[in-house]
C-alpha cells in the first residue's frame, strides 16, 4: 500500500473551457498530481451550450446535479440524449458531442470525470 497523502482542492473561481463553458477547477494532474483522471464542475448557463467537441482517446462520465440538458452526439450530432438532475452519463472516447441547456431560466450544474489527468488536453473542437 502507498503512504501517499490526501489532497483537497477548493475551487475559488471559474475558468472558461475550450468548449466555452464555465468550469471550476477540480482534481487533475495540475491541481492534485493525478496520473490517470480528472474531475471538475461544469455549468451550462440558461439557454447555453458547449462548442461541439470530443475527447481524444478518453472516456467521460457526467453526473447532473441540477437542471436538464440535451446532449447531441454522433458524426453529425444527429443523435440525442436528454438528461436531468440525478442522471449519470457515459461518453465513450472520440464521440463528438454537444451539451445544450434546455432551460432559458435555470443553469445546468454537473460533475465531470475523465480518465485524462490533464482535463483540457484531450479536448478537440469539432465541426460536424
Query: Where does the pLDDT of residue 120 fall: very low under 50, low under 70, confident under 90, or very high at 90 and above?
Result: confident
Query: Edge to edge, what strands does the sheet with 88-91 contain?
Result: 14-16, 22-27, 38-44, 108-114, 60-66, 88-91
Query: Where does the pLDDT of residue 18 fall: very low under 50, low under 70, confident under 90, or very high at 90 and above?
Result: confident
User: What is residue 23's three-state secondary structure?
Assistant: strand
At 121 the pLDDT is: 77
Q: Tell me: the pLDDT tens digits for 49-108?
A: 999 999 999 999 999 999 999 999 999 999 999 999 999 999 999 999 999 999 999 999
Cα 28 to Cα 119: distance, rounded to the nearest angstrom: 7
Residue ranges of domains in the chain: 15-125
Q: Which residues pair with 54 in a beta bridge?
A: 124
Q: Tell me: the pLDDT tens digits for 32-65?
A: 999 999 999 999 999 999 999 999 999 999 999 9
Q: Can you state the percent helix, strand and coil of the chain, rounding each to 5?
A: 5, 45, 50
At 2 the pLDDT is: 61
**Domain 15-125 - what CATH class?**
mainly beta
Amino acid at each position: 500500500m502507498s503512504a501517499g497523502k490526501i489532497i483537497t482542492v477548493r475551487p475559488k473561481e471559474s475558468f472558461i473551457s475550450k468548449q466555452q463553458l464555465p468550469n471550476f477547477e477540480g482534481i487533475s494532474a495540475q491541481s492534485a498530481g493525478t496520473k490517470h483522471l480528472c474531475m471538475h464542475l461544469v455549468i451550462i448557463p440558461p439557454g447555453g451550450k458547449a462548442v461541439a467537441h470530443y475527447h481524444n482517446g478518453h472516456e467521460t462520465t457526467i453526473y447532473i446535479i441540477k437542471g436538464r440538458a440535451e446532449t447531441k452526439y454522433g458524426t453529425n450530432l444527429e443523435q440525442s440524449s436528454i438528461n436531468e438532475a440525478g442522471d449519470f452519463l457515459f461518453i465513450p472516447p472520440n464521440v463528438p458531442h454537444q451539451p445544450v441547456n434546455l432551460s432559458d431560466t435555470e443553469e445546468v450544474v454537473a460533475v465531470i470525470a475523465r480518465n485524462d489527468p490533464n482535463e483540457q488536453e484531450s479536448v478537440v473542437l469539432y465541426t460536424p
